[in-house]
């Protein structure tokens, strides 16, 4: 899944994006790349509310009809 976000990255965003696009990270093992991506996503989640709101608007809404009978 790819999302294209329009937001103003802070200095830490620029640093994290440089790390993620460095040759060392591009050719690193899967766990290292996953950890780097998770670090960047945590930063976006906690520091950029506009990004979280944009993602929530783009994702499809879950239906509530998946409740079990004993909840009704």
For the question of whether the overall pTM of this predicted structure is more than 0.75, the answer is no
Tokens of 12: 């830490």
Residue 52 pLDDT greater than 90, yes or no: no
Q: What is the pLDDT of residues 5-37, one digit of tens each?
A: 778 899 999 999 999 999 999 899 999 999 999
d(CA 16, CA 22): 10
Q: How sure is the predictor about 68, in pLDDT bands with cuts at 50, 70 and 90?
A: low
Element (H, E) at 36: helix 30-47
Residue 15 has what pLDDT?
A: 95
Q: Are 39 and 20 a contacting pair, CB within 8 Å?
A: no
| Packing angle, helices 30-47 and 49-58, rounded to 10 | 100
Q: What is the mean pLDDT of the chain?
A: 83
Residue 33 is predicted with a pLDDT of 93
């Amino acid at each position: 899944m790819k999302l294209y976000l329009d937001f103003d990255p802070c200095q830490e965003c620029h640093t994290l994006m440089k790390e993620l696009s460095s040759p060392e990270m591009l050719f690193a093992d899967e766990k290292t790349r996953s950890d780097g991506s998770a670090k960047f996503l945590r930063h976006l989640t906690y520091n950029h509310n506009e990004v979280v709101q944009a993602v929530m608007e783009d994702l499809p809404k879950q239906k509530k009809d998946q409740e079990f009978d004993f909840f009704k």
